[in-house]
């Protein structure tokens, strides 16, 4: 009894000392010996665990095991756009805004910054004996689902509607998060939610997604495959719903055949949180919790976010699964923990030396500013009203979100004590001699109870009006999150809230003062009338902690807008197929045949870019060859700017249905006034892949059309002011 009390005392002394990993002390067990291979260490640790302890280590909130010196660890942490839900951190723009940057290098640097802050915060949390949720270094991000329907409330968490753009940005984020040390993993990123998961939110626990096989391989899986094969993502999260009749977390086809055997995934699979509960509660694929545990593990799950795996011992006792199968699943999971250095001496992992000075540092603040500035999309600029001069006499800022910090954050967000609202950004930018007025004017989603309206009258007395309207996380988000949504966070009406629209109409009727409309939100606001009510329109998304400064710098010309839409804005929901239909027919820029309000890839600038002289190095190629595409881009305007050059490909002679055009490459190109640059892209054989109706992938001979432009090459883009696309055709010989 005395000996046990002494061991307990030693264990808690270690906790109080803030030891998140094993101290540099004498190795007691082989699994604590860093000189041994990970496989040897994993095998030794598993051999020392009881079945109940094994089950506990497969829960996201894994308990400590005192007799082995193992401390508690919670696998559930969030870092969608910066470290989230765990105190002070740098808040980058919400992912849909990051998608609008079309900037791979930026995403890599955000991944590096986020993982730096993650380690710094982890070190402090360990010293506080804080082993609670969100305090670890294994993250449930990025979300690489396809924003296939703009009504989905969680679309804001994605990089947009295009699989290629999503895959490229997600891969770079993963690389930044996971580091490049030859021995140690920096943090573990997670590709979620696998797979075919994008609403409706109200049905997410019970619905069965049945896309055509062609769409499954052409749209829903490519980003996940890219993160696995190129990004080497450490974790994949299986989704709540069923796909092809099987619960995603209980589908051996998804988790073993496709993910592991075909794509070569080596990491661990985690369930979405309490997804195993859905097996017997909603999907009807298991009779009870023990059966659900057995099905999940047999299908390829390693970690249970939730508490259902507490029934693993019962499942073994009932013969539903063997302890050997449990050991195999646990071994995969423990490998990650060893790769992170969590069973090594404290300072072995080089990333453990990252100090707290990086948290919300000036360097990271500047990175958040860069991301915000690159994310804002200029949708309209009548008579080149923007940029405004800073030394105007009077300016009025109006709107329900002008002074809102909430619209900076999005969801799955961190918090920061240096959030700059759009009002603050504008006030900090204009001349000290400028008179600036401000009132909210209208509530976000309801009529004012007081019918008097001084704000509208005062606004008409100013030289210019900056109106900040739109939506916030109260309208869209995850199930249970959006408090003004009557549809579990989804938006079945894509228009500007009616009371806000009516107020803008009133402002326009009162006078002819120029209105600069700044729209906030994580999904399209599809109200064509806004083009008549405003002189200029900026879409700011949820722009992060530096959003107010970035928007103000764009309004007053210190930054030339360069964001591009990562999702199509339809004219109304009536242009969309049924929300629950997972076929891609009629969806996104790739398959939509109706004219949109604003097309994918679109965004204006304060200068004019033109494309000329497109050339292909080969007019005909053999199978397996690539084609080099070159085009000259010229800045014809008076100010420097950054153009997002986009290459699209159309298969003109395919034996199966193909996209109207598909994004295959993109690059940001900086050009001074009057400057021209020759930009080159390589069209590889992989880009010519045709996904057939049965899901098989082939490359067929025939003609291919290449487009290079600053937007998707639609007539609508040109009518809105986008540059004329350049195109050329090459032939793939038989």
Does residue 566 lie in a domain region? yes
Are 667 and 690 within 8 A, CB to CB? no
- Choose one of 591, 625, 659: the last residue of a domain: 591
Q: How far is CA 79 from the centre of its chain?
A: 10
pLDDT exceeds cutoff 80 at 28: yes
Of 559, 591, 623, the position where a domain reaches its end is 591
In terms of Cβ atoms closer than 10 Å to its own Cβ (0-12, 13-18, 19+), residue 8 is exposed
* DSSP string across 74-100: E--BB-BTBSBSSSB---PPPHHHHHT
Distance CA 294, CA 288 (A): 10
Sheet of strand 702-709: strand arrangement: 620-621, 726-732, 702-709, 641-651, 662-671
Give the Cα separation of 168 and 161 in Å (integer). 13
Residue 15: the pLDDT is 43
Neighbours of 33 (CB within 10 A): 16
Q: Are 589 and 601 in contact (CB under 8 A)?
A: yes
Inform me whether the pLDDT recorded for 6 exceeds 80: no
- 649 and 562 share a domain? no
* Whether residues 678 and 535 fall in one domain: no
613 and 650 belong to one structural domain: yes
Q: Are 420 and 404 in contact (CB under 8 A)?
A: no
587 and 620 housed in the same domain: no
630/572 same-domain check = no
Q: Catalytic residue among 116, 157, 162, 476, which? A: 476
Indicate whether 266 belongs to any domain: no
Q: Which of 78, 272, 308, 370 is catalytic?
A: 272
Helix (H) or strand (E) holding 727: strand 726-732
Helix (H, G, I), strand (E, B) or coil at 52: helix
Give the model's pLDDT for residue 589.
Answer: 98
Among residues 538, 564, 591, the one where a domain terminates is 591
Contacts of 110 (CB under 8 A, 6+ apart): 81, 82, 92, 98, 173, 176, 367, 371
- Could you tell me if 563 and 616 lie in one domain? no
Please list the residues that pair with 633 across neighbouring strands.
611, 677
pLDDT, tens digit (0-9, with 9 covering 90-100), for 64-112:
999 999 999 999 999 999 999 999 999 999 999 999 999 999 999 999 9
* 476 belongs to the catalytic site: yes
- For residues 95 and 156, the answer to whether their CB atoms sit within 8 Å is yes
Contact 669, 678 (CB under 8 A): no
What HEC string does 410-461 produce? CCCCCECCCCCCHHHHHHCCCCCCCEEEEECCCCCCCCCCCCCCHHHHHHCC
Task: With CA atoms as reference, report the closest residue to 727 among 690, 161, 714, 719.
Answer: 714
Q: Phi-psi region for residue 491, left (φ > 0), alpha (ψ -120 to 50) or beta?
A: beta
Give the integer Cα–Cα distance in Å for 242 and 206: 7
Helix, strand and coil in the chain, % to nearest 5: 35, 20, 45
Give 27's pLDDT tier (boundaries 50, 70, 90). confident
Assign residue 496 the CATH number of its domain: 3.40.50.1700
* Domain assignment present for 484: yes
Whether residue 370 is predicted with pLDDT greater than 90 in this model: the reply is yes
Q: Could you tell me the two tokens for 304?
A: 């249970």
Domain that holds residue 679: 609-732
DSSP state of 184: -
Question: Across-strand partners of 702?
Answer: 732
The pLDDT of residue 346: 82
Q: Which residues contact 13 (CB under 8 A, 6 or more apart)?
A: none
Length of the chain counted residue by residue: 734
Domain co-membership, 497 together with 558: yes
- Per DSSP, the three-state class of 231 is coil
| Residue linked to tokens 């009504």 | 151
User: Do 400 and 517 have their domain in common?
Assistant: yes
CB contact burial 148-185 (16+ within 10 A = b; e otherwise):
bbbbbbbbbbbbbbbbbbbbbbbbbbbbbbbbeeeebb
Neighbouring C-alpha atoms within 13 Å toward the C-beta of 532: 7
574 and 630 share one domain: no
Distance CA 719, CA 722 (A): 7
pLDDT digits (tens, 9 = 90+) for 309-365: 999 999 999 999 999 999 999 999 999 999 999 999 987 899 999 999 999 999 999
Burial (0-12, 13-18, 19+ Cβ within 10 Å), 9: exposed
Q: Considering the domain boundaries, does residue 167 fall inside one? A: no
Residue 677 sits in a domain of what CATH number?
2.60.40.10
pLDDT in tens, 35-59: 999 999 999 999 999 999 999 999 9
Q: Does a structural domain hold residue 708?
A: yes
Give dist(CA 145, CA 384) in Å, integer.
Answer: 37
CA separation, residue 24 to residues 10, 33, 181, 340 (Å): 15, 10, 21, 16
Whether residues 389 and 513 share a domain: the answer is yes
**Residue 346, number of CB atoms within 10 A of its CB:** 18
How many domains is the chain partitioned into structurally? 2
- Would you tell me the crossing angle of helices 323-339 and 289-299 to the nearest 10 degrees? 60
Query: Does 452 share its domain with 516?
Result: yes
Mean pLDDT computed over 272-279:
98
Stretch 158-175: mean pLDDT, rounded?
98
Q: What pLDDT, in 10s, does the model give residues 571-627?
A: 999 999 999 999 999 999 999 999 999 999 999 999 999 999 999 999 999 999 999
Alpha-carbon distances, residue 538 vs 156, 355, 519, 541 (angstroms) = 17, 38, 6, 9
Given a contact cutoff of 8 angstroms between Cβ atoms, the answer to whether 280 and 291 are in contact is yes
272 catalytic residue (yes or no) = yes
| pLDDT above 90 as % of the chain | 95
pLDDT band for position 26 (cuts 50, 70, 90): low
Cα→Cα distances 559→387, 482, 594, Å: 9, 33, 34
Q: In this structure, is residue 478 part of a structural domain?
A: yes
- Tokens matching residue 97: 């805004």
Spatial neighbors of 398 by CB under 8 A, at least 6 apart, are 438, 439, 440, 441, 455, 456, 459, 465, 466, 467, 468, 507
In the predicted model, what is the mean pLDDT of residues 104-133?
97
SS3 call for 61 = strand
Does 570 share its domain with 646? no
In a domain, 256, yes or no: no
CA dihedral of residues 74, 481, 589, 220 (deg, nearest 10): 40
Residue 2: pLDDT over 90: no
Q: Which of 170, 247, 143 is nearest to 255 (CA)?
A: 247
Residue whose entry in the numeric block shows the structure tokens 């988000």? 477
Token pair, residue 658, equals: 């193909």
Q: Could you tell me which residues come within 8 angstroms of residue 180 by beta carbon, excluding any fewer than 6 positions away?
A: none
Strands 641-651 and 73-74, sheet pairing? unpaired
**Residue 187, in any domain of the structure:** no
CA-to-CA distance for 418 and 364, rounded, in angstroms? 12
Average pLDDT score over the chain: 95
Read off the pLDDT of residues 670-714 as tens digits, 9 standing for 90 and up.
999 999 999 999 999 999 999 999 999 999 999 999 999 999 999
**Tens-digit pLDDT profile for residues 524-575:** 999 999 999 999 999 999 999 999 999 999 999 999 999 999 999 999 999 9
């Amino acid at each position: 009894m005395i000996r046990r009390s002494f061991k307990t005392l030693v264990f808690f002394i270690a906790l109080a000392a803030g030891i998140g990993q094993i101290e540099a002390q004498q190795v007691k067990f082989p699994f604590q010996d860093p000189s041994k291979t990970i496989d040897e260490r994993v095998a030794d640790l598993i051999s020392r665990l009881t079945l109940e302890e094994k089950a506990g280590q497969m829960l996201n909130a894994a308990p400590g095991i005192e007799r082995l010196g193992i401390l508690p660890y919670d696998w559930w942490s969030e870092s969608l756009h910066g470290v989230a839900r765990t105190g002070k951190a740098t808040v980058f723009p919400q992912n849909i805004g990051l998608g609008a940057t079309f900037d791979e290098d930026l995403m890599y640097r955000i991944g590096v910054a986020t993982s730096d802050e993650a380690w710094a915060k982890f070190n402090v949390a360990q010293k506080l004996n804080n082993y609670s949720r969100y305090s670890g270094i294994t993250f449930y991000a990025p979300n690489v689902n396809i924003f296939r329907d703009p009504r989905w409330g969680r679309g804001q968490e994605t990089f947009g509607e295009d699989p290629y753009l999503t895959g490229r940005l997600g891969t770079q984020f993963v690389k930044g998060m996971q580091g490049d040390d030859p021995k140690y993993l920096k943090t573990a990123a997670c590709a979620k939610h696998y797979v075919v998961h994008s609403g409706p939110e109200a049905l997410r626990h019970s619905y069965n997604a049945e896309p055509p096989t062609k769409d499954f391989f052409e749209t829903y899986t490519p980003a996940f495959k890219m993160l696995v094969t190129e990004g080497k993502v450490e974790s994949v999260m299986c989704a709540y719903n069923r796909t092809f009749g099987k619960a995603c977390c209980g589908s051996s086809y998804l988790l073993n055949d496709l993910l592991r055997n075909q794509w070569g995934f080596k990491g661990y699979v985690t369930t979405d949180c309490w997804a195993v509960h859905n097996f017997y509660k909603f999907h009807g694929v298991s009779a009870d919790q023990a059966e659900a545990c057995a099905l999940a593990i047999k299908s390829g799950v390693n970690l249970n976010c939730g508490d259902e795996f507490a029934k693993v011992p019962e499942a073994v006792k009932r013969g539903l699964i063997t302890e050997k199968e449990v050991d195999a699943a646990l071994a995969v999971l423990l490998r990650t923990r060893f790769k992170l250095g969590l069973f090594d001496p404290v300072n072995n992992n080089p990333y453990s030396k990252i100090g707290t000075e990086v948290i919300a540092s000036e360097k990271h603040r500047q990175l958040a500013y860069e991301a915000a500035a690159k994310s804002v999309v200029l949708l309209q600029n009548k008579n080149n009203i923007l940029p405004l001069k800073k030394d105007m006499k009077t300016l009025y800022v109006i709107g329900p979100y002008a002074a809102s910090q909430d619209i900076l954050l999005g969801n799955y967000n961190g918090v920061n004590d240096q959030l700059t609202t759009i009002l603050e950004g504008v006030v900090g930018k204009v001349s000290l001699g400028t008179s600036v007025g401000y009132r909210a004017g209208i509530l976000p989603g309801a009529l004012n109870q007081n019918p008097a309206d001084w704000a509208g009258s005062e606004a008409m007395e100013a030289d210019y009006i900056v109106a900040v309207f739109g939506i916030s996380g109260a309208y869209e988000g995850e199930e249970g999150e959006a408090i003004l949504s009557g549809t579990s966070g989804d938006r079945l009406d894509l228009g500007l809230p009616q009371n806000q629209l009516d107020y803008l109409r009133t402002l326009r009727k009162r006078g002819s003062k120029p209105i600069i409309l700044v729209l906030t939100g994580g999904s399209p606001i599809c109200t064509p009338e806004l083009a008549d009510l405003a002189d200029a329109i900026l879409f700011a998304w949820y722009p992060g902690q530096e959003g107010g400064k970035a928007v103000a710098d764009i309004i007053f010309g210190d930054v030339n807008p360069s964001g591009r839409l990562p999702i199509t804005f339809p004219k109304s929901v009536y242009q969309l197929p049924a929300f629950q239909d997972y076929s891609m027919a009629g969806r996104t820029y790739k398959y939509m045949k109706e004219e949109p309000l604003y097309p994918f890839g679109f965004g204006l600038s304060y200068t004019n870019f033109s494309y000329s002289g497109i050339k292909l190095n080969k007019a005909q190629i053999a199978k397996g060859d690539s084609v080099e595409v070159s085009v000259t881009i010229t800045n014809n305007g008076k100010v420097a700017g950054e153009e997002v050059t986009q290459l699209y490909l159309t298969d003109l002679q395919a034996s199966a249905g193909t996209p109207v055009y598909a994004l295959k490459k993109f690059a940001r190109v900086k050009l001074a006034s009057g400057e021209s640059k020759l930009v080159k892209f390589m069209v590889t054989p992989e880009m010519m892949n045709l996904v057939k109706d049965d899901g098989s992938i082939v490359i067929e001979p025939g003609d291919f059309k290449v487009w290079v432009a600053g937007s998707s090459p639609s007539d609508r883009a040109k009518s809105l002011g986008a540059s004329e696309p350049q195109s050329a055709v090459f032939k793939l010989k038989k």
